[in-house]
Amino acid sequence: MMITHNDAQLYYEVHGAGNPILAVHGFPLSGKLWAEVASDLSRHHRLIVPDLRGFGHSRATPEASMQTYVEDLVAVLADAGVDEPVTLLGLSMGGYVLFEFWRRYPEKVGALILANTRAPADTPTAAEGRLTTATKVLAEGSQVVADSMIGKLFAPTAEEALKAEWYSIMATSSPVGVAAALRAMASRPDSTATLPTITVPTLIIVGREDPITPLSDSETMHRAIEGSMLAIIEDAAHMTPLESPGAFGMAVQQFLRQ
């Protein structure tokens, strides 16, 4: 499906039927992130998989923010005919978007699944680094980000073909969309104070070997969100639904059944 919202064409797919799950990919990825777990998650649920603006099949705009992404997702849900509370699943930057979604539309959230993400904002140094990278991406292309990230995304045991596939996806992402997302992440608010306000069932997933959002970040979120569950995926780093789709899908299904 393709819709137009706020000057961007937004692409999304729907798999299965049942209670809705909205799956939000990370940076600089696409909805294809969920391909390996889509059949499992859509067996008993309606899985809605968008490409955030500037990624995958969705059109890029020069500016974006966590609020922009959230409003896009609300438009996708409306177009898909979802009017009940939805389970939100987000990985990495997708988790940053979910925090903003919760702050703005808590009544639309039935449950949260936060995968390989973290609550704090960037440090000033990290934010400045993102802005510098955004300028470089616009000048040289998205392979700048692919080169810097590919070695951190996957555990050492990941297949080389999988790494090559996702290097290509990142390297061919729209430079305009990648730069906009870098600026959006640099300016995102700190979500640490948001964690204790989360009152819906919450699952936190992390790869044991994730160097980008390490286990300690997930443990901090787990302690701060009352009643939350923590699932640790062994032999996986940052791309848990691709590296260990079976374990990832099982963790999500067990959480949803409970």
Tens-digit pLDDT profile for residues 206-223: 999 999 999 999 999 999
Q: What is the pLDDT of residue 46?
A: 98
Q: What is the pLDDT of residue 238?
A: 98
CB 252 within 8 A of CB 89: yes
Residues 6+ apart with CB under 8 A from 96: 66, 90, 117, 185, 188, 191
Query: How confident is the model at residue 180, as a pLDDT?
Result: 98
Question: Which pLDDT score is estimated for 232?
Answer: 98
Q: Domain ranges in the chain? A: 2-119+191-257
Question: DSSP of 45-96, one letter per residue?
Answer: EEEEEEPPTTSTTSPP-S---HHHHHHHHHHHHHHTT--S-EEEEEETHHHH
Confidence of residue 246 (pLDDT cuts 50, 70, 90): very high
Q: Give the pLDDT of residue 129.
A: 98
CB 209 within 8 A of CB 236: yes
Q: Please report the pLDDT score of residue 255 as a whole number.
A: 98
Q: CB–CB of 103/70 below 8 Å?
A: no
Q: What is the pLDDT of residue 256?
A: 96
Please say whether the beta carbons of 41 and 91 come within 8 A.
no
Best CA proximity match to 238, nearest among 91, 32, 50: 91
Q: What percent of the chain has pLDDT over 70?
A: 100
> Tell me: the pLDDT tens digits for 63-107?
999 999 999 999 999 999 999 999 999 999 999 999 999 999 999
**For domain 2-119+191-257, which architecture applies?**
3-Layer(aba) Sandwich (3.40)
Confidence class for position 175, pLDDT limits 50, 70, 90: very high
Mean pLDDT of 118-124: 98
Mean pLDDT of the chain: 97
Residue 163 binned pLDDT confidence (cut-offs 50, 70, 90):
very high
Q: pLDDT grade, residue 193 (50/70/90)? A: very high
pLDDT at 201: 98
Both tokens of 215, joined, read: 């286990």
